Amino acid sequence: MTLNTSKFEQRLKPVYNSLSKSELIVATYIRNNLSTVGFISAAAIGKETGVSKNTVGRLFKRLGYDGIAGLKTELQENNSLRFISPEGNDQRLENSIYKDILSREFDGIDKLNRLFSTEVWHRCVDTVFSADRVFITGFQLTRGIAEDFQRRLAIVKDNVQYLSPHDGLMSEFIETERDGESVLVLIDCLPYSQSIETICRIATRCNIKIIIVTDEFNHWADRYSDLVIPTLTNSGTFLNSYGSIGIALNILVHSVAEKDPSHTNIRLKRMMGLTQDIKLFS
């Protein structure tokens, strides 16, 4: 089942640009966890996001809620309206839910369609194509899609490596002292991951270019890079959708491959030869 988050978003939209950094972190956390936030306290939200309880309370006040109790009441009303329907209308309700979800997914694809004609997108493609080394990283829920992107890109390009900072102790960046250009593709949709910004600062210090693939609620990416690929992840589903992120990354691989088709074909033939004995494609 999906939650109708429109009431919270309607409250958030008018004040979004005027929120402080701490308030933005809390707002994004709540938006990404509306299905469970009604079961925890303001203090717990503060602990999860790394801000004070007072900051959480201040955000609720700015959004017009009577504390977290007001948000919980609204969520309960939302759920009742969303899921309770007259007898015999269950199928119509389900179809309506899917229609709304798909409509938001199409909005995400439409946004990508506009992005692909921009200078920023073409610079991202050129940066990945020309880099001597490409590092790719993602945390928690985005790690899987980051690892998939690394494997796909490694088929068409040399020296593509998944970066696991906590496992590898950033040893991957040691080699960047050598000649050549490195780029870090960072996939992040987490609302309060302080580690992500720390890695951006380290990459900048090591003269590594940064490409950030993120969602519509990111408020910090442009501090570290002018190569930002924004996507829409709020499709109204229980968990945010990474469909648009997957499409963007797949087309990025395709675009890099198309920059030098002959080289790509050589790599594909070599890969097929290497995998022949283990009969992956038989």
Question: Tens digit of pLDDT for each residue in 164-197?
Answer: 866 655 666 666 555 678 999 999 876 546 678 8
What does pTM read for this prediction? 0.67
pLDDT at position 78, please? 62
Helix (H), strand (E) at residue 185: strand 182-188
b vs e for 89-110, b when ≥16 Cβ sit within 10 Å of the residue's Cβ?
Answer: eeeeeeeebeebeeebbeebee
CA distance 276 to 268: 12
Q: Are 171 and 238 part of one and the same domain?
A: yes
Whether residues 247 and 123 share a domain: the answer is yes
Regarding whether 107 and 51 lie in a shared domain, the answer is no
The answer on 139 and 207 residing in a single domain is yes
Distances (CA, A) of 52 to 12, 26, 55, 61: 20, 10, 5, 15
Q: What is the CATH number of the domain that holds 197?
A: 3.40.50.10490
Domain of 60, in residue numbers = 7-78
- CA–CA dist 49, 34 (Å, integer): 15
Last residue of a domain, one of 29, 46, 78: 78
Place of tokens 């890695």: 199
In a domain? residue 171 = yes
> What pLDDT is attached to residue 77?
66
Is residue 2 assigned to a domain?
Answer: no
159 shares a domain with 263? yes
- Intervals of the chain under pLDDT 50: 1-5, 80-89, 93, 192
- Cβ burial of 233 (10 Å; 0-12, 13-18, 19+) is buried
How many Cα atoms within 13 Å fall on the side-chain side of residue 92?
Answer: 6
Number of H helices, E strands in the chain: 12, 5
Closest to 93 in 3D by CA, of 80, 106, 105: 80
Q: What pLDDT, in 10s, does the model give residues 138-157?
A: 887 788 899 999 999 999 99
Task: List, in order, residues 6 or more apart from 156 with CB less than 8 Å away.
Answer: 253, 256, 257, 264, 267, 268
Q: Which residues contact 218 (CB under 8 A, 6 or more apart)?
A: 188, 189, 212, 228, 230
Residues 15 and 119 in one domain: no
Rounded to 5°, the CA angle 240-186-244 comes to 35
